Amino acid sequence: MRHYAFLKGFLKKNLWRYALGVVFLILVDACEVIVPRILGPITDGLASGTMDYKGLMRYVWLLIAVGAFAMVNRFLWRWFVNRTSRKADYHMRKMLFDKFMSLSERYYTQNKTGDLMAHATNDIRAVRESLGSGTVLTFDSLFLTISTTIMLFISVPTKLALLGLIPFPMIAVAVFFFGKVINKRFKEVQESFSELTDNAQESFSGIRVIKGFAQEELETDNFMKSAKKNFDKNVALMRVDAVFDPMINMFATLAFVIAIWKGGAMVASGEITLGSFVMFYSYLGSLVWPMIGMGWVINIIQRGMASAARLNKIFTEVPDIKDAPDAVGHFEFRGAIRIEDLTFSYEPDGTRPVIKHLSADVKAGQVLAIVGRLGSGKSSLASVLTRLYNPPDGTVFIDGVDINKIPVSTLRKQIGCVPQESFLFSTTIRDNIAFSDHDLSDAEVERYAKIAHIHDDIAEFPAKFETMVGERGVTLSGGQKQRVAIARALIHRPRIVILDDCLSAVDTQTEESILKALGEELKGHTSIIISHRISTIKHADEIIVLDSGDVIERGRHDELVELGGTYADMYSRQLLEEELAAL
């Protein structure tokens, strides 16, 4: 049960519901055990001619009463057990999503989307079934097996009862053996399903690239390889099931053969009455279901345990981005940034650093620009400043406080970051802009849309701000998505704004208009502008040039141009590109 540790609180709170459901279930089973004891005297009375109509009707009404009692209790156990298992399903989904939200970006780079989707669907369903159907079948099988066996020995001679029970240990052995195989095969099915969903999700996300390069056939082939693997794993599991169920039925049939052969002979010899034979045959039939149920229990519990182990691994995952035990309380967030000899790596062991010995001192309200070629480490600085990844202690300070000691929510509420890839949710433009505060007025949303120079584009859409952007903002152009993302970052009025190459998809004229509007809006706010475009950052208070994580140049625009180094070379090339584009 250690795999179900993440449900300890839920089970403790709802154990009484399961217990009550099991009580009602046992009452239903008791009714099933009583029925053969009623049928036996009826059979003997009718066979001997000693039962009149009045006596028969007494038994009929007794059977009706037992049936009605069983019906009420069957409803009650289903209400308590099934409803509670559905509550567990809801509880697990909430727990899992909360856990996903608490995990850092590093976790998502190390795990496939398909695996995460499988956890949220198949694994939760398997655990829920183990808590619902598994609980019912366990107690149902145990009680029926014990009570029916006792009634069997009470109703017929011990020798006949023992003969009838011969096939049932074989069923138990088969269940034990096949359970282990089924558990192994089910794990393989889950893993192949994760791979399949990951493949599908990646294809859907990259559908434009696939179509743009006319690679539909190749991607279909890749998907079908994953589908074939999943198919083969499912067939392997079903092959075991296909052997398991008929084997159980064969042993059950053997029990009935013994009942007819030996029980019939004892009726013929007068050793037992016909009524006793009916009870014997009925009880053997009643024993078949619990034995088959045990097989199902093994399947359900084994699958549930396999899925619970996978879920438990997530729930025990320790987020590497969390508030420090000695985190500071409330403090005045002005936006001054000091970086002291920062060396940062995405690797846990610190190898392959992407930023090396970076230092900077940005006063509140100043503009720091980071420029460099692709892969120079520019965007990594944005990840550090927003604590998507933790920098080494004592290397990054905001208003004199180590960034690792600032509560994550406090830090991120005061930083507005526009990343390179402008992700939009599949909802309205308004909801995307007002993502940080859905209670904002329409006037405020429109104001920031104007600052980001996206308002005029939105005004041309038939539904205006209520336009659905589609999944990942597919209905908007790259430049429009970037400008919506800028409005979203500014609308909660952060003290620090990070623009991570977020104007790469807009033309030069629009870029100038946006930068001018941002300059007016962000007066007194600290700005970090990351770009490979010199035109975007030439008015910054300080410019740092990175190359493979190293600081190779720093200064103001005029100073760096005069220096004649990498920055000047980049600037000259971009001027030439602009002149050629104007021809």
pLDDT tens, 387-437? 989 899 999 999 999 999 999 888 888 898 888 888 888 888 999 999 888
Q: Which pLDDT value is given to residue 582?
A: 61
Distance CA 495, CA 385 (A): 13
Strongest mean pLDDT among 121-130, 263-272, 572-581: 121-130
Identify which has the larger pLDDT, 74 or 186: 74
Residue 22 CA to chain centroid, in angstroms?
A: 31
Q: What is the mean pLDDT of residues 454-471?
A: 86
Q: What is the pLDDT of residues 536-577, one digit of tens each?
A: 888 889 999 998 889 999 999 999 999 988 889 888 888 887
Q: What is the mean pLDDT of residues 169-192?
A: 77
Q: Are residues 388 and 426 in the same domain?
A: no
Which of 73-77, 112-116, 155-159, 557-561 is the least confident region?
112-116
Asked which of 459, 493, 527 is the last residue of a domain, the reply is: 493
Q: Which pLDDT value is given to residue 396?
A: 93
pLDDT at 190 over 80: no
Q: What is the mean pLDDT of residues 22-29?
A: 92
Q: Which pLDDT value is given to residue 503?
A: 75
Q: Are residues 500 and 579 in the same domain?
A: yes
**Given strand 337-344, what is the order of strands in its sheet?**
401-402, 396-398, 337-344, 355-362, 550-555, 542-547, 367-372, 526-531, 496-500, 415-418
pLDDT at 187 over 80: no
- Concatenating the DSSP letter of every residue in 271-296 gives SS-HHHHHHHHHHHHHHHHHHHHHHH
Q: What is the mean pLDDT of residues 258-285?
A: 83
Cα–Cα distances in angstroms (integers) from residue 93 to residues 39, 96, 315, in the given order: 48, 5, 12
Distance CA 8, CA 2 (A): 10
The proportion of the chain whose per-residue pLDDT surpasses 90, expressed as a percent, equals 18
Which of 24-28, 111-115, 437-441 is the least confident region?
111-115
Beta-carbon count within 10 A of 54 CB: 7
Q: Within a domain: residue 79?
A: no
Asked which of 468, 493, 518 is the last residue of a domain, the reply is: 493
Q: Are residues 223 and 306 in the same domain?
A: yes
Distance CA 345, CA 349 (A): 8
Q: Are residues 168 and 220 in the same domain?
A: yes
Q: What is the pLDDT of residues 78-88, one digit of tens each?
A: 899 889 989 99
Q: Are residues 155 and 106 in the same domain?
A: yes
Q: Are residues 427 and 502 in the same domain?
A: no
Return the ∠ at Cα 212 (arms to 207 and 218), rounded to 5°. Answer: 65
Q: What is the mean pLDDT of residues 237-264?
A: 81
Q: Are residues 377 and 284 in the same domain?
A: no
pLDDT band for position 208 (50/70/90)?
low
Q: Within a domain: residue 190?
A: yes
The number of folded domains in the chain is 3
Q: Are residues 439 and 388 in the same domain?
A: no
Q: Which pLDDT value is given to residue 508?
A: 73
Q: Within a domain: residue 131?
A: yes
pLDDT band for position 321 (50/70/90)?
confident
Q: Judge whether 510 and 456 are in contact, CB under 8 Å.
A: no
Q: Which pLDDT value is given to residue 9?
A: 86
What's the one-letter identity of residue 451? I
Residues in Cβ contact with 333 at an 8 Å cutoff, skipping those fewer than 6 apart: 398, 399, 410, 414, 495
Q: Kindly state the DSSP code that residue 318 receives in the 8-state scheme.
A: P
Q: Which pLDDT value is given to residue 352?
A: 87
Distance CA 299, CA 183 (A): 7
Q: Which pLDDT value is given to residue 471?
A: 65
Q: Which pLDDT value is given to residue 177?
A: 76
pLDDT at 583 over 70: no
Q: Within a domain: residue 68?
A: no
Asked which of 493, 510, 533 is the last residue of a domain, the reply is: 493
Q: Are residues 395 and 433 in the same domain?
A: no
SS3 percent helix, strand, coil of the chain, rounded to 5, is 65, 10, 25
Q: How do beta strands 496-500 and 415-418 pair?
A: parallel
Q: Which pLDDT value is given to residue 506?
A: 74
Identify which has the larger pLDDT, 472 or 192: 192
pLDDT band for position 23 (50/70/90)?
very high
pLDDT band for position 528 (50/70/90)?
very high
Distance CA 67, CA 38 (A): 12
pLDDT band for position 377 (50/70/90)?
confident
Q: Are residues 285 and 431 in the same domain?
A: no
CATH number at residue 163: 1.20.1560.10
CATH number at residue 560: 3.40.50.300
Q: What is the mean pLDDT of residues 187-213?
A: 77
Q: Within a domain: residue 179?
A: yes
pLDDT band for position 68 (50/70/90)?
very high
Q: Are residues 382 and 440 in the same domain?
A: no
Q: Within a domain: residue 28?
A: no
Q: Are residues 430 and 524 in the same domain?
A: no
Q: Judge whether 512 and 401 are in contact, CB under 8 Å.
A: no
Q: Give residue 461's domain range.
A: 421-493
Q: Within a domain: residue 61?
A: no
Q: Within a domain: residue 309?
A: yes
Average pLDDT, the chain: 85
pLDDT band for position 474 (50/70/90)?
low
Q: Which pLDDT value is given to residue 473?
A: 59
